[in-house]
Chains A and B, each alone.
Chain A
Amino acid sequence: MLLRFVTRRLAVAIIQLIGISLFVFFMIRILPADPVARLVGLNATKEAYDLAAHNLGLDQPWGQQLLNYLGIYSNRPGDGVLQGDLGDSWVTSAPILEELVRFLPITLEFITYALLIAFLIAVPMAMAAATKPGKTADRVTFVWGLFAGAQPEFWWGLMFVFFFFFQFHEWGFPSAPAPLGRLNPMVSEPHTITGFILIDSLLAGNFRAFLDGAHHLMLPVFTLVFVVSGAIIKMLRQNMIRVLQSDYILYARSAGLPSRQVGFYAMRAAMAPAMTLVGIFYGFLLGGAVPIELIYSLGGIGEYSIRSILAFDYPAIQGTVLIIAMVSLLIYLVIDILHAAIDPRVTF
C-alpha cells in the first residue's frame, strides 16, 4: 500500500518537475532580459558580444538550447539535466549542483528549527484558546494569529537586529551576534557532513562551534517563528474550536469519557490538517526566506537565487527552481505519509 502510494506520488512528482523545468526554461527566455549584455557590459563590441553569446550557447535556437539543457542530442560539451548535471554558473563558473548542495542545507536547517518551534508553541496556545473560547487567552491568541499571520518578516528581522544586537550592546547586555553569517570567523567550522551546522558540530564533537552556531541561529529562527507561528496558531485554534463542537466530541462526553480522554480525542483530530499547513510553509519558505537570509548573511539557497536572478544567470535560476521544487515535493510526500498515519480516512 505505502510503497504503491510512494511510487505513484514520485511518478507524479517527476511529471511536475518536468513541467516546472520547461516552464522556467521558457519563462526566463520570453522575458526581455539580456544576460549577455549583463556579462560583457553595455560598451562591449559586437564581436565580444557575439563571442560571449556563443560561449553561453545563447546563439542557438530555443529548441536546441532546451536539448542542450536536457542533455539529449546536445551539440555542446558536458551533460544535461537528464544525466544529473545542472550545468555551470555563468557568473562563478562553478557546477551549479555543487553550489546548491552547499547552500540548500543552510536554509533547510533554519526553517526546520523555526517550523518545529512554531508548531510546539502553537499547540498549547491553540489548546488554551479553544477550550475557553472568548476568554483572555483566546482573544490574545486570536489577535496574535491575525496579526503575525501576515507581517513583513524582513522588517521584523531588522528590528530584532537593532534591538538585540545594537541596543543590547549599547546597554552592555549580553547581546545577539552581529548578523554576519552562521559562525564567528574565529570559530573553526566543523567538517560538513549533513550541512546542518548544529548536527555537524555535534558529530565532530566541536561544542564551541555548536554553541556559536546556535547563538547565530537564534535571531533568524526567532524571526521566522515570529511570522510563521501566527498562521499555525490561527489554523489550530479554528480546528480545535470546530472539533470541540463536533458530534463525536459531544458524543464522547455523553458517553462519559473522562475529560483528559476527550482532550486527546480533540487534539488528534485538530492536529492532522495543521500538519499539512506546516508542509506548505516548508515549500513556501524554501524560496521565500530570501530576505531573512540576506539580513543575517546566512548564505542559503535564497541568497543564491537572488544573486543568480539579478545576474541573469539562466542555468543557476533553472537549477535553483528545480531543486527547490524537488525538495518541496519530497516534503509534501513525507507530510502526507505522516498525515495518513494519524488519520485513517486519508488513503494511499
Chain B
Amino acid sequence: MSVQEIVRPAAASNLVMEARNVTVRFPIEDAPEVTAVNNFSIQIKPGEFIGIMGEPGCGKSVAAQALLGLVRPPGYLASGEVLFQGHDLLKMDPEESRKLRGKDIGMIVQNPRYSLHPMYRVGQQIAKVYRAHNPVTKQEAWDHAIAMLRMVGINDPERRANAYAHELSSGMAQRVLIAIALSSKPKLLIADEPTSGLDVTIQAQFLDQMWENVRQTNAAVVLVTQDLGIVANYCDRVLIMHKGSVVEQADVHSFFRSPNHEYSRAILALQREETSEERNTREVKVDSTSKPLIKVDKLTKLFPIRRSESKVHAVDGASFEIRPGECLGLVGESGSGKTTAGRCLLRLVEPTSGDIFYRDLNLSKLTRDEFRKKRDKLQIVFQDPLDSLNPRWTVEQCLMEPLNLHSTMTAEQKRARMQELMQLVGIDPGQIHALPKEMSAGRQQRVSIARAIATNPDFIVLDEPTSALTPETTAEIIRLLMDLSRKLGIAYLFISHDLTTVKYICHRVVVMYLGQVVEVGTKDQVFNTPAHPYAKALLSSHLFPNVENRRVDRAVRETLQGEIPSPITERLPKGCYLYGRCPSQKDRCKAEKQELKTIGDGRQVRCWRVAEGDLPIEVAVGH
C-alpha cells in the first residue's frame, strides 16, 4: 500500500498526531486474552506537553508504544488507527513506518541503560540512528552525534561518545537516549517514564533539559509517568488511564483543582488531605520534652573494597534521636546512606563505629544473640513488598514466624493474635493461605507491616515502604501507618526519597548527603525554610504536585551541578562534601570539614555559612 492511498482528511487539521480507538490485546496461555489498551484516543497539537498517568499495568506504556505502531510480542493491535500527518501508522508498510520512527517521532524509555546496546559505543548508536534517516557520511553522523550529546547537556561529549552504556550513570544514559530521539528533529517525542529510577536532583536536571530542548524545536511531547509531581510541574494536559481505558482527560490546572473521576480523586487523595482535618486527626502529638526512645550517636559504616585500602563511606558519623511515638523522616538521594543507616540501627548491617541507644540500652554493645532477642521490640518494613516475603510461605506462615520466635503463647493464642493482626492491617481473613505472589503489592506490604507489629514493637524502621506502590496504594498505606502509630504508640524512622509522603507523615526530618547528616529540623522548618544548600536544592528539585507553583514557570530553576560523587575514601571532597556542586560555595568550603551545629531556631545544620549567619534562611520556592 502506498502512502498516497491512505491519506485521510484529518491531514488538513493542524494536529501532530491523532489516535482513534486504539485497542491492544495480549493472548495469555490458559486464560482469556487481556485487553491492555481499550479504545485509546488522543489528539496531539504541536508543541504540546501531554502527560499520560496511571498505575503500573494500566496500559499506559503499551498505549505509548502503540502510538509508534509497535507492540511487544506476543501482543497485537486489535483495532484503531494512529494518524500521523494524515497517514495511518498502523496500516502503513513496515518500511514506511520505520522511516517515521526515529525521524519524525522520537522515543525515550525507562531503563535507559538497558535500552542502549551493551556492545556498541553510545556515539555509534546515535550515529547509526541518524544515518538510518538522513543521507550523511559516517563522519558527519559521528560529528552530529557529538553535537547532540552537547545539546543534551553532556560535558565533554567527545569522550562520552566513545563510552559504552555500562560506563554511564542512569541519568547520563537517559540523556543519550534523548540525544538519539531528538537527533532528526522529530515533531513528536514520546517519553515512557524517562526518569523512573533517577534521583530527584538528576530528574530535575534531566526534565529541565528535555523541556528546553523540545521548546527549541517546538516538538510535542507525550510523557508517560506515574508521578503526580512530574505531571503537575511539566505537562499542559493530562490523560488518566485505569485498567486499559482513559478515564479522565483534562488540563492540568483543572485536574488538580477538581478531578472528575473517582480513580483520579483516589490518586490525589494525599495531596488533597494534606491540610485537611482528616490528616490532623490522624497525627500523633509527640511530647518534645520526653526522653528519646532511640538515640544514634556518631554512627559510621564503612564498607571495605576488595583489593583496596580505601573504603565506601556509606554512613559518616550520623547522629539523631527519635522520641516515643514520633515519626522521624530520613531523606536523601541514592547513595546518601539513609538505607544503610536504617539497617545499622537494627544491626542488619554491623556498624563500624558509633552507639545506638534503645532507651538506656546500648544496642551496639550487645552480642548478636543478645540483640536477636530484642528484635521483638525493634522492627523493620522493607521497600519491596514482594521481595521481603518468603515466596514459598503463606500469609499464615509469615505472621506466625515472629510469634513462634518471640512469644510464649499457646497455639490457640497465637492463632487469635494472627486474626487480630490481619484485622489491624486490613487483610481479608480469606487470604490466610495466599502466597505473596498471589496478592497485590498493597496487600503484600500490609502483610509485612502485620509481621512487623506482631510482637508489639516500640520502634519500626520504615525503609521506603511506599516507593514500590501506586499513588493510590501509597495513600492507603500511609494512613494505615499513621493509625497504627496512634493506636499502638509506635515510633517510626521513615526513610524515603519521596518528600511528598514525608511531608505528610513525619514530625521531624533528617536530611542526609553522602553519608552525612546535613540538616535536622522540624518538618515545617526543613520544608518551609531549608537552611543547608543541599536541603534547599533537594526541596527545589523535588516535584511537589502543586500546579500553582510549577517548576517550568519559575524564573530560576535551582538545582545542583553534576552528579553525586561516589563515596569512596579518596574521591570524597576534602572539605564540605557538597563542594563542587553547591551554588553558595566559597573558598573556605574547599578545605574545611563541616560540623553539625545547632542554630538559632533549634535545628542542626552542617554548613559554616548558615551557622555564622552568612547565608540567609529564606522561604523555599519548592511549594
Residue numbers of A with Cβ under 8 A of B are 245-248, 250-259, 261, 265, 268-269, 272, 342-345
Contacts and interface: CB of A to CB of B under 8 A. Distances in A.
Contact of A256 (B72, B102, B114, B118): B102
A89 to B, nearest CB: 44
Most buried by B among A254, A265, A272, A345: A254
B166 interface: yes
Contact of B107 (A248, A251, A342, A344): A251
Contacts of A255: 101-102, 106-107, 129, 132, 180-181
Contacts of A246: 114
A11 to B, nearest CB: 15
B132 A256 contact: yes
B346 to A, nearest CB: 36
Interface residues of B, number: 31
Nearest to B97: A256
Given A255-B129, A256-B103, A256-B132, A250 B118 contact: no
B588 interface: no
Contacts of B103: 256
B111 A247 contact: yes
Contacts of B120: 265
B116 A248 contact: yes
B620 interface: no
Contacts of B119: 268-269, 272, 342-345
21 contacts: A245-B72, A245-B73, A246-B114, A247-B111, A247-B114, A248-B114, A248-B116, A248-B117, A250-B72, A254-B65, A254-B101, A254-B107, A255-B181, A256-B99, A256-B101, A256-B102, A261-B128, A269-B119, A272-B119, A344-B118, A345-B119
Which label, helix, strand, loop or mixed, suits the secondary structure of the B interface?
Answer: mixed
Contacts of A344: 118-119, 164, 166
B70 A345 contact: no
B114 A257 contact: no
A25 B554 CA distance: 78
A250 to B, nearest CB: 6
A342 B103 CA distance: 29
B68 interface: yes
B507 to A, nearest CB: 42
The 6 closest A-B pairs by CB, nearest first: A256-B102, A256-B101, A251-B115, A255-B102, A247-B114, A254-B107
A44 to B, nearest CB: 58
Most buried by B among A247, A254, A255, A342: A255
B97 to A, nearest CB: 8
B116 A251 contact: yes
Contacts of B166: 344-345
A169 to B, nearest CB: 51
Contacts of A254: 65, 68, 70, 101-102, 107, 109
A251 B107 CA distance: 8
A257 B180 CA distance: 11
Interface in B96-134: 98-103, 106-107, 109, 111, 114-120, 128-129, 132-133
Contacts of B118: 248, 269, 343-345
Contacts of B68: 254
Contacts of B72: 245, 250
A258 B115 contact: no
B102 A257 contact: yes
Interface in B144-168: 164, 166
A261 B115 contact: no
A257 B128 contact: yes
Nearest to B101: A256
Contacts of B111: 247
A252 B116 CA distance: 8
Contacts of A261: 128, 132
Given A254-B107, A256-B132, A247 B115 contact: yes
Contacts of A256: 98-103, 129, 132-133
Given A248-B116, A251-B177, A255-B107, 16 more contacts: A247-B111, A247-B115, A250-B72, A253-B70, A254-B68, A254-B70, A255-B180, A256-B98, A256-B100, A256-B129, A257-B98, A257-B128, A258-B132, A344-B118, A344-B166, A345-B118
A93 to B, nearest CB: 49
Nearest to A256: B102
A343 B70 CA distance: 28
A219 B107 CA distance: 54
A265 B117 contact: yes
Interface string B536-578: 0000000000000000000000000000000000000000000
A5 to B, nearest CB: 15
B107 A252 contact: no
A111 to B, nearest CB: 29
Nearest to B181: A255
Interface in B598-618: none
B116 A258 contact: no
Nearest to B100: A256
A345 B132 contact: no
Contacts of B100: 256
A342 B128 CA distance: 18
B296 to A, nearest CB: 39
Most buried by A among B65, B98, B119, B128: B119
Contacts of A245: 72-73
A254 to B, nearest CB: 5
Contact of A257 (B109, B132, B177): B132
A252 B117 contact: yes
A224 to B, nearest CB: 30
Contact of B109 (A247, A258, A272, A342): A247
B261 to A, nearest CB: 30
Given A245-B73, A256-B102, A257-B102, A345 B164 contact: yes
A272 to B, nearest CB: 8
B307 to A, nearest CB: 12
Contacts of A259: 98
Most buried by A among B70, B106, B116, B118: B118
Given A343-B119, A344-B119, A345-B118, A250 B102 contact: no
Nearest to B132: A257
Contacts of A343: 118-119
A274 to B, nearest CB: 14
B60 to A, nearest CB: 16
B468 to A, nearest CB: 20
Interface string B196-231: 000000000000000000000000000000000000
Contacts of B70: 250, 253-254
A256 B166 CA distance: 23
A265 B129 CA distance: 12
A112 B103 CA distance: 47
Contacts of B132: 255-258, 261
Nearest to A272: B119
Contacts of B116: 248, 251
A268 B164 CA distance: 15
Contacts of A253: 70, 101
Contact of B129 (A257, A268, A269, A345): A257
A261 to B, nearest CB: 6
A268 B114 CA distance: 15
Nearest to B163: A344
Nearest to A254: B107
